[in-house]
Chains A and B, each alone.
Chain A
Amino acid sequence: EVQLVESGGGLVQPGGSLKLSCAASGFTFSGSAMHWVRQASGKGLEWVGRIRSKANSYATAYAASVKGRFTISRDDSKNTAYLQMNSLKTEDTAVYYCTRLGSDWGQGTLVTVSS
């Protein structure tokens, strides 16, 4: 059974940093691209970014709204993907999902940016 479990969410002040983790199991993590998708309360889904596999040079891509502030990385030895969020803004407040962008999604972790 595929499982994606996010952790690391919480309350952070504007301008602060937070690192989310996504622990994966049940599939060949090293061969999969991993995505982060977020959803502000009452709003739609927003694709945040993705990291491809080693075979694809761990290529990353980001939404314009987070480019330069967020960094996605992965540790294939730990079957874990990460989302490092810096210079956080109030508009980054959302539930953040880790996903393979298909049938596999985590339960989400809430990030609240507020003073």
Chain B
Amino acid sequence: QSALTQPASVSGSPGQSITISCTGTSSDVGSYNLVSWYQQHPGKAPKLMIYEVSKRPSGVSNRFSGSKSGNTASLTISGLQAEDEADYYCCSYAGSSTFVPYVFGTGTKVTVL
């Protein structure tokens, strides 16, 4: 099971919107609406930002939204703020019958200019 593909870096100015893509295969992203997104600041544990493609946990800003089309999931951050600067990882379920049921993305560093 290969890692999901994300762009290495994405940047934007405060107030702008950015989108991070997460490309998998028909065996993972394309087959299940079980894609989640994590934000990670340096030295900290990952924080769940989106689950089941587009659902936001309580307490997560509505500036964060998720979507999916085919084998590619996306995370959009609108109204970019300085505190959004972090690493972002997608994660997809790949089925209980597979040897490796979960796979993470390669990670994207978001820079606020």
Complex CA distance for A50 and B40, rounded to whole angstroms: 21
Q: Which residue of B lies closest to A108 (CB)?
A: B45
Q: In chain A between 79 and 113, which residues have their CB closer than 8 angstroms to a CB of chain B? A: 97, 99, 101-103, 105-108
Roughly how many angstroms separate A46 CA and B51 CA in the complex, as a whole number? 18
State the Cβ distance, B103 to closest chain A Cβ, in Å: 6
> How far is A107 from B40 in the complex, measured between Cα atoms in Å?
12
A91 CB, min distance to chain B CBs, angstroms: 15
Among B51, B103, B105, B106, contact of A102 (Cβ-Cβ < 8 Å): B51
B89: interface (CB < 8 Å) = yes
Shortest distance in angstroms between A66's beta carbon and chain B's nearest beta carbon?
Answer: 11
What separation, in Å, do the CA atoms of A63 and B100 have in the docked complex? 6
When C-beta atoms are compared, the residue in chain A nearest to B59 turns out to be A103
Which of A46, A61, A99, A108 contacts B99 (CB under 8 A)? A61
Q: Do the beta carbons of B104 and A44 come within 8 Å of each other? A: yes
| In contact, B57 and A107 (Cβ under 8 angstroms) | no
Interface size class of A (residues with CB under 8 A): 20 to 34
Q: Is there contact, CB below 8 Å, between B45 and A97?
A: yes
Q: How far is the CB of B110 from chain A (nearest CB, A)?
A: 14
A44, A97, A108 — most chain B CB neighbours (10 Å) = A44
Q: Complex formed: what's the CA distance from A62 to B99 in Å?
A: 7
| Interface size band for B | 20 to 34
Determine the distance from Cα of A47 to Cα of B99 in the docked complex, in whole angstroms: 12
Distance, CA A106 to CA B44, complexed state (A): 10
Closest to B60 in A: A103
- The yes or no answer to A35 lying at the interface (CB within 8 A) is yes
Question: Shortest beta-carbon distance, A14 to chain B, in Å?
Answer: 25
Interface residues of A (CB under 8 A from B): 35, 37, 44-47, 50, 61-64, 67, 97, 99, 101-103, 105-108
> Could you list some 28 contacts between A and B, CB below 8 A?
A44-B3, A44-B89, A44-B104, A44-B106, A44-B107, A45-B46, A45-B89, A45-B91, A45-B104, A47-B100, A47-B102, A50-B101, A62-B99, A64-B1, A64-B99, A64-B100, A67-B99, A97-B45, A99-B46, A101-B36, A101-B91, A101-B102, A102-B36, A102-B48, A103-B47, A103-B48, A105-B47, A106-B45
